[in-house]
A = this chain, B = another copy of it.
Amino acid sequence: MDVRAGILVTGTEVLTGRVTDRNGPWLAERLRQLGVDVGRVVVVGDRPDDLRTALTQLDDLDLVVTSGGLGPTADDLTLEIVAAHRGRALHHDAELEERIAERVEAMRRRRGWAVDADALRAANRKQALVPAGASLLEPVGTAPGVVVPGPPPVVVLPGPPSELQQMWAAAEASPLVQEVLARAGTLEQRTLRLWGPPEAALADALRRAGDLSGVELTTCVRTAELEVVGRFAPAAADVWDGLGAHLQEEFGPALFSPDGRSVDEVVADLAVGTGATVATAESCTGGLLGARLTEQPGSSGWVVGGVVAYADRVKIEQLGVPPGLLERHGAVSEPVARAMAEGVRDRLRSTVGVGITGVAGPGGGTETKPVGLVHLAVAGPGTTLHRELRAGGARTDIRTYAVQHALHLLREALD
């Protein structure tokens, strides 16, 4: 871990929490794959002083990557500040402006914009400024990126994640970045995931794991899963493997992912491997489980579809839940969760059906059925599994937690 990078995410919308940053995480993983360890991610608003301070504070690293602040509006300042920080004047690149103008014109035609030509020219011109001595990264959207010589070199990338990601290959290939990468070793990262045991049990097992030197170990709790991550140079691979064997022995099947796959991926692999198809019946999660299953590429091979049964009459009419069951037990109950899972399995003719019904809040809770109560059921060809959950937190937390549990129950049923 000799070569270290800093990431500077700019944008008041990110700093103030209105937009969740996706670039820092993406860049960190990309750099790790290149053997570069990320030391710090700094988020600042579009303010000259804060941008300058942040750049100065990242000067001790080997490489700096920035995202955002390259747009045509006046609050987009990153390029100007980076150039000034490195003592490099901005030059107007007439040919670049022409290429940007062509891109903008194509976009304008496709989207049917009616924009003043002068306004477009001003926007294009602002985006065609390049610091002296910098390598240009051709625009993917309308803003080009640059690599400004260091030390450390600064890679300046646009903020929209898909633009940044598509531009990365060119950044990686630029000679200034290649020079840094040549000094980097290989930085492996491996993950183990557990479902069920408490964090204290993991802490205890790790204390008894023996000598782990050479492996930088971190653990965290993510929506009730325990995640153990090791980062190491290839020489320490044996240490990691030894730890895996130790945890396998300690936790058995609770170590559901010894190879780092997410529960989503494990479920997808099990479905493909067994030839099972899946259908979902969701009440309080409103489609979130279906969305998560179908986020997996290739899910059309095993996800049949589902029913979002938010209203009770949809539970009755589309899933065949008996009205008497709803009357006797209420919509949030074990019998209704089972009937939803079995109903969607039968109606959509899948191998497995999943039912979720609960009180996501903030309203709708009662003394016997408080906010956070969720009933899950997974109906296979033979038996139906059921779980009752008591989730904490806000509406989003409860829904996410319910979906996470449903995925693990589905994993259990498919396994």
A contact residues vs B (CB 8 Å cutoff): 11-13, 15-22, 24-29, 32, 38-47, 50, 53-54, 57, 71-75, 104, 107-108, 110-111, 113, 115-116, 118-120, 122-123, 159-162, 165, 189, 191, 197-204, 206-207, 216-222, 227, 229, 231, 280, 282, 284-291, 293-295, 297-300, 303-311, 314, 317-318, 347-348, 361-364, 390, 392-397, 399
Contact = CB atoms under 8 A, between A and B. Distances in A.
Contact of A16 (B29, B111, B199): B29
Counted per complex, copies of this chain come to 2
Contacts of A42: 40-43
A123 B19 contact: no
A75 B304 contact: no
Given A75-B217, A116-B204, A119-B204, A307 B303 contact: no
Nearest to A32: B16
Nearest to A112: B196
A262 to B, nearest CB: 10
A113 B299 CA distance: 34
A249 to B, nearest CB: 15
A346 to B, nearest CB: 12
Given A20-B25, A286-B290, 11 more contacts: A12-B216, A13-B222, A15-B38, A18-B191, A115-B201, A115-B204, A120-B200, A123-B203, A287-B291, A290-B290, A299-B310
A260 to B, nearest CB: 10
A299 B286 contact: yes
A308 B311 contact: no
Nearest to A25: B17
A397 B72 CA distance: 23
Contacts of A286: 287, 290-291, 293-295, 299, 303
Nearest to A22: B20
Contact of A305 (B45, B201, B318, B363): B318
Given A57-B57, A390-B110, A44 B39 contact: yes
Contacts of A113: 197-198, 201
